[in-house]
Structure 1
C-alpha cells in the first residue's frame, strides 16, 4: 500500500507543505481553546456557583449550537469556500473568549458559551473540509497528523491550566483569545470551492458513510467523557490535589498525540480496519483501568492507555468519509471538492451526536457516580470491532493529485 503511494506523492506533498502547516494551525488553535475551557470546568463551577447538572446543561447548549455551526459551514463552503467559513469560525472563538472571560454573571457566561458553540461547529467542519481536500491532493493518509495538531493544542491548553491554577478565568481567557485571531488572518489555506452542480449529491454511498459515522460517534462519546468530565472525575471521585485535576486530560492527550503523529504511516502500512481494531482493544483496557482506579495515580495510567488506543478513530473516520464521498465523482475538481465538502460538513454532525451523548449522558449518570458513568463508554467501544470493516478503502487507487489544479491560496 505504501509502495504505490510513494512515487505519486513526494512532489505534491512538498508543494503543499505550507498549506498543510496553515490548516494544522487551525486544528492547534481549536484544541488549545477547547481544552483550556474543559480543564477549567471545576473553576467555572466554583466561580459562578454552577452545579453538575447546570454544567451538563451548558455542555448541551454548546453541542447543539455546534451542530448549527457545522450547518452554517456547509452552507458557506460550496459558494465562498471552506477557508472563509474557517476564518469566520475562528473569529467567533475569539469573541466567545472575550465574552466568557470577564462575564459578570451566568447569563453573560451563557451568551459567550452560545457563541463558542456556533464557532466550535464552524471550525470543526471547515478545518476537516480543508484537511480532507488536501489529503486527496497529496494522495495518501494525512488526517491523523492534523488531529495530532489538535491534540498538541489540547496539551498546550491543559498545561496552561496546570501552570495558572490561581489565575482568574478572565486572566486566562483574554490572552488566549489572541491565538484563534492570529490563525484566522493567516494566509495559505486552500482556495475557495465552487457551487456544487445540480445532482452532485447523487451516488454518494450514505449507508456506508453511516457505518463510518457510527464509529465516529463512539469515539466522540469516549473523547468528550475524557476531556470534559475527566477533570471533574479526578476532583470529585479520585480526590486528586486541587491543582492537579487537569492531569486527567494531559496523559490522555499526550498518548493521543503520539498515536496520531504515527497514525499517517500506520494507516498507510496496516490499513484503517486493522488499526481501528487494535485501537479498540487498547481503549477498552484503558477504560477498565479508569473505572477500577482506586486513586488518582492509577487514573492517570488509565487515561494514558485510553488515549493511545482511541485517538486514531476520528481522523480515520473523516478520511474514510472523504474517500466514500469522492467515490463515483469522476475526476472533475469542480464536482469533487464541493461534493466532499458537503459530505464532510454533514459527517461532522456525528461529532456532536457523540459529544452530546458523551457530555450529557456522562454528566447525567455521573450525578450518582462518575465511576459508573465511565463504564458506559467501555461497553460502546466494543461496537468498533464490527464497524471496522466499513473503513476498507476501494480497491482502485485514488486519482492522481494532478487531477486537481494547483490551488489559489487565501
Structure 2
C-alpha cells in the first residue's frame, strides 16, 4: 500500500513537472514574439531583413528537432528535457541583447535550436508520463503550452506598456524559468535507452505509420500556421473590419484551442484518439468553411472559433501515437513527426500568401479546408480506434 502511494505521488509530481515545462515553453516563446517589433527597431532592420533572420530561427528549430530524437533515445528524455529547457531559458535573452543584425541572427538560431530540441524532448517525456498514467493526458500538456503563451503575451504587453527594456524582461523571465526547472527537473520520469532487437528489421524511422503521422502533423500544423498569421487579415480584407476588431479572429481561435485541449483528454478516454482526430477535424472543416463563405462578422468569428476547437485535440493525439510506436526508437519517431509538423507550420502561411496573391485570401482558405478533410479521412489508420481506458 505504501509503495503504491509512493508510485502515485511520483507520477503526480512528474505530471506537474511536465505541465510546468510545457507552460514555460509557451510563456518564453510568447514573450519573445511580443517583443519582436521593439527588437527590430533596436537592431535597425526592415521587414525583409527581419523575415530573413526569422528564417534562421526556423532552421535552428529544425536542426534541434533533428538531433534530439536520437539523443533522447540514447540518454533519456528526462535528461534532454532538462538540458534544453535550461538552454531555452538562457538563450531567450539573446535577441533582446542583440545590437546588430548578425548578432540577432546568431541569437535566433541558437534560441530556435533550443526550442526545437525542447519540443521533441518534452513531448517524448509527456508520452512516458502518459504511459505510466495509463489514460490520455497528452492534450492537457499542450493546453498548458497554450495557456503559457497567453500568459507570456500578457506579461510582455504589460512590460512594454511600462517601458521596460526587452533585454531586462527576457532576462528576468529566463532566470525565473531556470528556477522553475530546478524544481521540476528532478521530478521527471527517468527513462532508459530502449532495448533494440538484434535481428535485422525495417528502418522504423521511415515506416509507413511514421510517414502517415508526420504527413498529417504537417497538414494540421499548416492549419495552425494559417490561423496564426492570416486570421486577422482575412477578416479585415473580406469584411472590411478595423484592425482592432479583426484581431478578435485570432483571439477566438486561440481561446477555443486552449479550452479544447483541456477537455480533449476526457473525450479521448471515452471515444478513442481516432474519433478525436476524425470528428475534431470535421468540426474544423465546418469552421473554416464558414470563414470562407460568411459575409457576417459574428459568423466568421464563430468559424475561427470552431476551427480552433476542432484542431485542439488532434495534434496531441498524433504526438502520442508517434511516441507509442513499437519500434525501439520513440525519440527518433517523435523527432520526425514533430519536425514534419513544424515544416507545415512554416510552409502554410507562405502557401496562403502565394495563393491569395493569385486569387484572394478567402479563396486560399481552401488549403486548410483540404488539410483537415485529409486528416479526417486518415484518422482510422493513424491511431487505435478503441477508447484508451
TM over 0.5: yes
Q: Does 1:98 align with 2:93?
A: yes
Question: In the alignment, is residue 240 of structure 1 matched against residue 243 of structure 2?
Answer: yes
Q: Deviations over 1:329-370 (max 9, x none)?
A: 6xxxxxx5xx32232223221222212212443455567865
Cα deviation for residue 322 of structure 1 reads 2.5
Deviating more after overlay: 344-353 vs 245-254: 245-254
Q: Which residue in the other structure is 1:71 paired with? A: 66
Which residue does the alignment assign to 1:26?
21
> Given the alignment of the two structures, is residue 84 of structure 1 paired with residue 86 of structure 2, yes or no?
no
2:334 maps to which of 339, 344, 348: 344
Residue of 173, 178, 188 corresponding to 1:181: 178
Q: 1:198-209 maps to which residues of 2 (within 5 A)?
A: 199=198, 202=201, 204=204, 206-209=207-210
- State the distance in 2 between where 1:247 and 1:221 align: 20
8 Å CA contact 1:35–1:227 kept in 2: the answer is no
Show the counterpart of 1:155: 150
User: What is the match of residue 308 of structure 1?
Assistant: 309
Q: Figure out how many residues of one structure are paired with residues of the other and give that number.
A: 377
For residues 310 and 387 of structure 2, the distance between their equivalents in structure 1, rounded to whole angstroms, comes to 29
Give the aligned partner of residue 61 of structure 1: 56
* Distance in 2, Cα, partners of 1:200 & 1:24: 38
**Residue matched to 1:333:** none
8 Å CA contact 1:95, 1:115 repeated in 2: no
Q: For residue 137 of structure 2, what is the aligned residue in structure 1?
A: 142
1:363 and 1:390 map into 2 onto residues whose CA distance is: 32
Preserved contact between residue 240 and residue 296 of structure 1 (Cα < 8 Å): no
Displacement of 1:48: 5.2
Does the 8 Å contact 1:318/1:344 carry over to 2? yes
- Partner of residue 276, structure 1: 277
- Name the stretch that deviates more: 131-140 or 284-293: 284-293
Q: Superposition pairs for residues 283-294 of structure 1, below 5 Å?
A: 283-291=284-292
| Gap regions ≥5 residues in structure 2 | none
Q: Give deviations 1:139-161, integer Å, cap 9, x for gaps.
A: 22111111111111122123334
TM-score normalized with structure 1 length: 0.78
**Displacement of 1:217:** 1.0
C-alpha RMSD over aligned residues: 3.5
CA deviation map 1:297-333 (0-9, x unaligned): 766544322211111111010112233x13xx6xxxx
- Cα drift, residue 374 of structure 1: 4.7
Residue aligning to 2:373: 382
Q: 1:405 matched to which residue of 2? A: none
* Structure 1 residue 82, shift from structure 2 partner: 1.4
Q: Answer yes or no: is the 8 Å Cα contact 2:90–2:175 preserved in 1.
A: no
CA 259–397 in structure 1, closer or farther in 2 if over 3 Å, else same:
closer
Residues 125 and 189 in structure 2, CA contact (< 8 A), matched pair in contact too = yes
